[in-house]
Structure formats: C-alpha cells, structure tokens
Structure 1
Amino acid sequence: MRVQMLGLCRFSYLGLRGYQKDHSSIEERRAFLYDPDRLARRWQWFTTLALPGWLAQTDPDFTLVVMTGPDLPQPYLSGLQALSRVNPWLRLELVPPMDRHLEACLAAIAPHVDPQADVVGHFRHDDDDAVALDYVATARRDFAAVQALWQAEGRLSLDHSRGLMLRAGAGGADFVPRIAHNMGVALTIFLRPDAEKTALHFNHTRLPMWMPCVSVTRPLMFIRSIHADSDSGDMGPGLPWEIAPDALDRQLSRRFGLDRAVLDDLAKAVSRKDSAGRSC
C-alpha cells in the first residue's frame, strides 16, 4: 500500500480565521503577524527547533508544505524560498489572504496530494514545535499495523502522544514530560487521496467524533513549545512521566538531533526579544 506523508506548516499566514487570537480587520492581523520582533522570534523557533528534525528524517519520503502569504516581509520570504530550493521535501505555497482558513489550507495542500497514493497521512506542524527524527518512518510502520481500521471508514488518526513540553523563559528552557493525547504535533490523520481535506479540517481535540483513533505512547516523539507568542499558551490535559536530567539531554540529541544548551540559548533569546517589546 502506497502511503503518502503530507504535512502543513503555517508560517505567519495572513488570514482572518484559524487562530485563537482574534483581530477585527486584515490590517490589524497583518500588523500583529508581521511585527518585526515577532517574526524574528518565529524564525528562530522555526530554524532552531522545528527544522532540524525535518532535515534529518530517517525516512525522507514525505512532503512538508510551508504556507505563508505572498507579502511576507524579508528576509523571511527569501529564507523560505531558499530552503525550498535545496530541500525537495519542503514545498512553499504563497496563499493570498482568504477569509475562510480551511479553504486556504486546502489551497496550499491540494496541489501536493499524490492521486496515485492509496492513502495520505496528513499532519499539521507548528513552526515552533519539533518531531523526532523517525516520525515519518514510525507513522508509516504503525499505520501498517492498524490499516484494517482505516479500511473500514477511510479515516484514521494515529497519535504519537509521548512528548516534552518546552516552557521558554528568561532562565532558559524548562522541559515537562507529558503523555498528551491528540495534542496536534506528531498526530497523523490518514485519509483517501480524494478526501479534499487536510489535518486542520478536523479539530484535534474532538477526533473521536469523526474517526477511529489509535494512541501510541512510545517512543518519545514530539516537543511542543510554550512561550509568550504561542497561539495556545498552556500545556492542556495529559499524564506526567519521569526522565532524569542526563537522560533528557541524551534523548534531545538522539530523538531530535537537538542540543540542550542551544535550546536554553533559544529560550533566553526569544524571551529577551519579547520582553523588549512587551511584558511577558
């Protein structure tokens, strides 16, 4: 069975809906999203935390569509264009402002759906989160074990729910181990190629209403960052699990290709930039 892994990452996309923070006009939304200090922080999160895992996936057969507006300020637009030129798995879609956010997301994803695939594994990825280096390979493997559930309805969610919550502050990065079901990151929604939907068409907190849901609690699969710019600034429900500090450092390196000291520096840097413009 041919499984296409296809994800969507919104990088400061300019649209009126699809975010928890409301704005009364497109001009107000543009001023918020394109604030120079905010964009600098988002770029740091994207390049330091999110990007390394995608660059080093053990299974390179996937597509991550980065969706932004055609008027994204420089140097961020040229930076995304440069990344898409050298990484065949990264596709840049410049979507003009659209009132209906799900239609905008579908406009970004639809050109990249492989009609020859038997099933498409849709996933969403925020620009300030990270997935493990074997996320794509593991999602494919685990789907193969439960594909009969998908066959029944043409819909199935596969939730790799063991993760780390990264809370950023002036003192650095604080990690809280959590098993958090249907968090959104490392969550794959398997649909037929003709479904004309993306992962964002399904509220990840209410997935059992629409499809069978399988939760896989090992191995460690995601990092979700929580900081002043987060669209949702809390950890949400979940179960704690324990990890020793030295084991945490090893897991950051082995599972995500990340260095603890670099993440501490990132957390401090974005906190300084944020506090310079407004109180955290």
Structure 2
Amino acid sequence: MRVQMLGLCRFSYLGLRGYQVEHDSIEARRAYLYDPDRLARRWLWFTTVALPGWLAQTDPDFTLVVMTGPDLPEPWLGQLRALCDSVAQLRLSLVEPMDYHLQACRAAIAPHLDPQADVIGHFRHDDDDAVALDYVALTRRDFAQVQGLWQAEGKLSLDYGRGLMMEAREGQLRFTPRICHNMGVALTVFLPPQAEQTALHFNHTKLAQWMPGVQISRPLMFIRSIHGDSDSGDMGPGLPWKPEEGSINRLLRQRFGLRRGALAALSRQLL
C-alpha cells in the first residue's frame, strides 16, 4: 500500500479564520501578522526549532507544504522561496486570502496530492514546533500495523503522545515532559486520496467524532513551543513523565537534532 505523507505548515498566512487570535478586519490581521519584529521572531522559531527535524528525517519520502500569502513581506518571502527551492521535500504555496480558512488549506495542499497513493497521511505542523527525526518513518511503520482500521472506515488518526513542552518566557527556557492526547503535532490523519479534507479540517481535540484513533505513547516524538507569539499559550491537559536525570540535552540532540544552547540563545533573543 502506497502511503503519501503530506503535511501543511502555515507561515503567517493572511486569513481571518483558523487561528485563536482573532481580528475584525483583513487590515488588522495583516498589520498583526506582517509586523516586521513578529516576522523576524517567527523566522527564528521556524529555522531554529521546526526546520532541523524536517531536514534530517530518516525517511525522506514526505512532502511539507509551506503556506503563506503572496504579499508576505521581504526578506521573508524570498527566504522561503530559496529554502523551498533547495529542499526537495518542501513546497511553497502562495494562497490569496480566502473567506474560509479550510478552503485555503485545501487549495494549498491539493496540487501536491500523489495520484498514485492508496492513502494520504495528512499532518499539520506549526512553524515553532518540532517532530522527531524518525516521525515519518515510524508513522509509516505503525500505520502498516493498524491499516485494517483505516480500511474499515476510510479515516484513521495516529497520534504520538509523548512530548516536551518548551516554554520560552522572559529570556528563560523551561522543558516540561508531557504525555498528551491529540495535541496536534506528531498527529497524522489518514484519508483516501480523493477526500476533500486535510488535517486542518478536523479539530484535533475532537477527532473521535469523525474517526477511530490510535495513540502511541513511545518514543518521545514532539516538542511544542509556548511563548509570547504563540497562537495558544496554554499547555493543555496531559500526564507527566520523567526522563532519566540529566537526559533532556541528550534527548534534544538524539531525537530532534537540536542543541539546548541554541534554544536557550533563541529564548534570549525574544526579549
């Protein structure tokens, strides 16, 4: 069975819906999203936290669509173009503001669907979060073990629940190990190729309304960032787990290809 892993990452996409921070007009939304200081911070999060894991996936057979507006200011639009031109797995999608955010997400994803695939593994990824280096490989492996559930209903979610909450506040960095249910990062929604939905069409906190789901609590699979520019600054419900003493730095390196020193420097830059 051919599984296409297809993700969507919104980088300051100019739309009125689809986010928890709301604005009354497109002008107010544009002023907020395109503020130069904010864009500089988002680029730092994207390149320091999110990007390393995608550049070093052990299974390179995936596509990550980076969605933004055609009027994204320079130098960030040019930098996104150059990045996506240089990385085979990245695709830049420039989508005009649309009345409905989910239609915009579908417009971004649709050109990149593989017509030869039997099933599409849709995932969403925020530009300040991270997935482990083997996320794609383990998702494909674990789906093979439960694909009968997908075949029965044509929809299935596969959630990796073990993660690190990374808080960057007032120049300080703090990690909280948590096991969460359908956090949204490292969560894959498997749909038929002809389906009109993407991962964004399903509220990740209510997935059981639409499909069966499987959660896998090992290994450590995601980092969720919480900071002043977060769309949601709430850590949300979850269970604690305790890494071996002194192992956070090692886990950052081995699971995500990240260095704690670089992350700490990032948190200090955000002051």
Return the offset for 1:246.
Answer: 2.1
The equivalent of 2:177 in structure 1 is 177
**Cα 1:14–1:62 shift into 2, 3 Å:** same
Preserved CA contact (<8 Å) 2:59 2:136: yes
Q: Distance in 1 between matches of 2:245 and 2:34?
A: 37
Which stretch has the larger CA shift, 8-17 or 241-250? 241-250
Please tell me whether the aligned partners of residues 186 and 222 of structure 2 are also in contact (alpha carbons under 8 angstroms): yes
- Match of 1:189, SS state, is strand
Shift of 1:209: 0.6
| Equivalent pair of 1:172/1:266 in contact (CA under 8 Å) | no
| Equivalent-residue separation in structure 2 for 1:245 and 1:64 (angstroms) | 35
Cα contact 2:171–2:269 (8 A) shared by 1:
no
Partner of 1:235: 235
8 Å contact from structure 1 (residues 161, 180) kept in 2: yes
Instruction: Note the alpha carbon deviations across 1:115-153, whole angstroms, 9 max, x for none.
Output: 110000000000000000000000000000000000001
Contact 2:129 2:185 in 1 (8 A): yes
What letter matches 2:208 in structure 1? P
Partner of 2:112: 112
User: CA-to-partner distance for each residue in 1:79-129, whole Å, 9 max, x for gaps?
Assistant: 000011110100000000111000000000000011110000000000000
Match of 2:199 in 1: 199
* Amino acid of the structure 1 residue aligned with 2:204: H
Structure 2 portions without partners, runs of 5+ = none
Counterpart for residue 60 of structure 1: 60
Q: In structure 1, what is the Cα distance between the partners aligned to 2:70 and 2:25?
A: 18
The C-alpha deviation readout for 1:188-224, integer Å capped at 9, x for no partner, is 0000000011000000000001000000000000000
Q: What secondary structure is seen at the aligned counterpart in 2 of 1:255? A: helix
Indicate yes or no: 2:30 matched with 1:41: no
Which residue matches 2:151?
151
Matched with 2:214 is: 214
TM-score, with normalisation over the residues of structure 1? 0.96
Secondary structure at 2:254 match in 1: helix
Match of 1:74 in 2: 74
Task: Give 2:161's aligned residue.
Answer: 161
Equivalent in the alignment of 1:277: none
Q: Aligned partners of 1:231, 1:71: CA distance in 2, in Å?
A: 21
Equivalent residue of 1:91, what SS? strand
Query: Partner amino acid for 2:88?
Result: P
1:10 corresponds to which residue? 10
CA distance in 2, matches of 1:234, 1:56: 29
Cα deviation for residue 171 of structure 1 reads 3.9
Query: What RMSD in Å do the two structures reach over aligned CA positions?
Result: 0.7
Ranges of 4+ aligned residues in structure 1 off by more than 6 Å = none
Quick check: 1:172–1:265 contact (8 Å CA) kept in 2?
no
Give how far 1:169 is off: 1.8
TM-score (norm 2): 0.99
CA distance in 1, matches of 2:173, 2:260: 8
- Alignment coverage as a number of residue pairs: 271
Alignment match, 2:259: 259
Partner of 1:232, secondary structure, is coil
Q: Per-residue displacement from partner, 1:26-77 (whole Å, max 9, x unpaired)?
A: 0000000000111010000000000000000000000000000000001100
